[in-house]
Amino acid sequence: MSEAHRVAIVGAGPAGVRAAQTLVAAGLRPVVIDENARWGGQIYRQPPADAGFRRSASTLYGFEAKKAEAVHDTMATLLPHIDYRPDTLAWACEPNRLDTLHAGREASVPFTHLIIASGATDRIVPLPGWTLAGVYTLGGAQVALKAQGCAIGSRVVLAGTGPLLYLVAYQYVKAGANVAAVLDTSPLSRQAAAAPRMLNQPSTFAKGLYYVGWLHARGVRIERGVTLDRIDGGGDSAVSGIRWRTQRGDARALDCDAVGMGFGLRPETQLADLAGCRFRFDALNRCWLPERDAAGRSSVPNVYLAGDGAGIAGADAAELAGRRAALALLEDIGVASNRHHAMKLEHELGRIAAFRAGIEHAFAPPADAAQSWPDDLVVCRCEDVTAGAMRACIRSGLATEVNRLKALTRIGMGRCQGRMCGESAVALLCAETGKTPADAGRLRSQAPVKPIPITPMLYDDGVQMQPEEAHDE
């Protein structure tokens, strides 16, 4: 890569890989940084290279096996042409520089152009018992299966809402795990009402129906429109069961030793925030998103956004958006690109966005859960902040927006930096004040975006960083 154009890509999922491919085809040599040990991102996550088990692509990725192999093979062919840095966390971003950490070593990665393809994580809506041992996110439950070849328990309940709920249930049962129940907080009537909007992606829609039908055919208990009441723990503080109410209000309980829980996905936007991107509230994603144009250009010159990290749209859209953002970058540095191809990518992304709107309506997370949170519910598990402590702070009038609530209660100041609890804090603030999420404010991101060791780090030349040089946590 010429010194004039140092391109960094964060994320080696479908978006990052396709962005890298497009840049390499134009003669650039991007740095590709990913905290995972192997490329593929979330959906096409690969087991560790030295895993003690072997599972075929079709077993790991089901209907998506061919797409997974295509992304994996593409990345393998790119390796001689890129500077690939796996197992590397980009923990801070400043103008024209990423700070990264790999095997305890700190390295600065200067860039002239940055593509952020950082993906998403599960959305959490807390309920009593959610911090017990044996409660995982749905994504975490899936990672256990894909990367470790194991289930999260011997009798598992999957709860929450979203397409991942049924997909993980299907993958678990197919792998031989015991799924005691699938508890969906979204009612069937809402899902049926959203169906017409999802018909513009008929094969994706059909796959969803297939998973549900397949689970029904195997006798897996599925309940929709439920209200999750609590996850019970035994004497060892581990999960022993779950309680909920049916759509008609009847109380139900079930024994289990693990719960996989998630309410859709939320974009990982912290690096875009640290890069200085302007944000706007997005009603569909129910969160603040970095602004971008149809090509993926952010509000900051030379910073581009692609994939789920800029708004949840799924893996196919991530591939398209990665390509489109890379083309935008090439256009901006004066490399002639195929305008027709770029327009086609944008058109296809628009079609997927319409489908995505249907999904978000079909599987909306419970809107009013925060009102019923008991005062002793731990909302921020890193800092042990309860709903009661937050309510007291809000009712005192001291916190009218979420960053003030953070300053006064420490919610969002711990290891997760608000990635797990930030939306819950906003939900509680809204429940107490009547504000809308758009008016409740946006948690400002701080470096490090994910935990890094506070023991002295090494610079990439092997010299130990002095304490006063270390970045503040």
Ligand X SMILES: Cc1cc2nc3c(=O)[nH]c(=O)nc-3n(C[C@H](O)[C@H](O)[C@H](O)COP(=O)(O)OP(=O)(O)OC[C@H]3O[C@@H](n4cnc5c(N)ncnc54)[C@H](O)[C@@H]3O)c2cc1C
Using CB under 6 A, pick the residue from 22, 34, 212, 363 that binds ligand X: 34
Binding string, residues 207-246; x marks residues near ligand X by CB under 6 A: ----------------------------------------
Residues 414-453 that bind ligand X (CB under 6 A): 449
Query: 36 or 386, CB closer to ligand X?
Result: 36
CB of 461 to ligand X, least distance (A): 22
CA distance 346 to 18: 15
Query: 30 or 41, CB closer to ligand X?
Result: 41
Using CB under 6 A, pick the residue from 11, 290, 422, 437 that binds ligand X: 11
Query: 275 or 431, CB closer to ligand X?
Result: 275
**Residue 16 found at the interface with ligand X (CB under 6 A):** yes
Query: 168 or 399, CB closer to ligand X?
Result: 168
Using CB under 6 A, pick the residue from 12, 151, 261, 430 that binds ligand X: 12
**Which stretch in 309-317, 364-372, 383-391, 427-435 sits in contact with ligand X by CB under 6 A?**
309-317
Using CB under 6 A, pick the residue from 5, 8, 35, 129 that binds ligand X: 35
Identity at 323, one-letter amino acid code: R
CB of 17 to ligand X, least distance (A): 7
Tokens of 33: 């940084």
CA distance 411 to 395: 16
**Residue 89 found at the interface with ligand X (CB under 6 A):** yes
**Residue 43 found at the interface with ligand X (CB under 6 A):** yes
**Which stretch in 37-45, 233-241, 286-294, 452-460 sits in contact with ligand X by CB under 6 A?**
37-45
**Residue 275 found at the interface with ligand X (CB under 6 A):** no
* CB-based contact 117:322 (threshold 8 Å): yes
**Residue 28 found at the interface with ligand X (CB under 6 A):** no
**Which stretch in 11-19, 286-294, 342-350, 429-437 sits in contact with ligand X by CB under 6 A?**
11-19
Query: 166 or 373, CB closer to ligand X?
Result: 166
Of 108, 117, 118, 94, whose CA–CA distance to 300 is shortest?
94
Identity at 361, one-letter amino acid code: H
Size of the site for ligand X (CB under 6 A): 35
**Residue 360 found at the interface with ligand X (CB under 6 A):** no
Residues 162-181 that bind ligand X (CB under 6 A): 164, 167
**Which stretch in 106-114, 232-240, 285-293, 301-309 sits in contact with ligand X by CB under 6 A?**
301-309
CB of 139 to ligand X, least distance (A): 2
**Which stretch in 35-43, 124-132, 190-198, 239-247 sits in contact with ligand X by CB under 6 A?**
35-43
Counting Cα atoms < 13 Å in the Cβ hemisphere of 121 gives: 16
Using CB under 6 A, pick the residue from 20, 32, 41, 345 that binds ligand X: 41
**Which stretch in 105-113, 236-244, 264-272, 335-343 sits in contact with ligand X by CB under 6 A?**
264-272
CB of 238 to ligand X, least distance (A): 23
Helices 402-409 and 422-433 pack at an angle, to 10 degrees, of: 110
Query: 271 or 394, CB closer to ligand X?
Result: 271
Residue 174: count of CB within 10 angstroms of its CB: 15
Using CB under 6 A, pick the residue from 126, 139, 264, 290 that binds ligand X: 139
Query: 121 or 417, CB closer to ligand X?
Result: 121
CA distance 183 to 185: 7
Cα of 212 vs its chain's centroid, Å: 23
* CB-based contact 130:154 (threshold 8 Å): no
Asked if the bond preceding 448 is cis, omega within 30° of 0, the reply is yes
Query: 194 or 394, CB closer to ligand X?
Result: 194
User: What is the CA angle 249-252-253, rounded to 5?
Assistant: 155
**Residue 314 found at the interface with ligand X (CB under 6 A):** yes
Query: 328 or 440, CB closer to ligand X?
Result: 328
**Residue 366 found at the interface with ligand X (CB under 6 A):** no
**Residue 33 found at the interface with ligand X (CB under 6 A):** yes
| Site residues (vs ligand X, CB under 6 A) | 10-16, 33-36, 41-43, 89-90, 117-121, 139, 142, 164, 167, 265, 268, 271, 307-309, 314-315, 318, 449
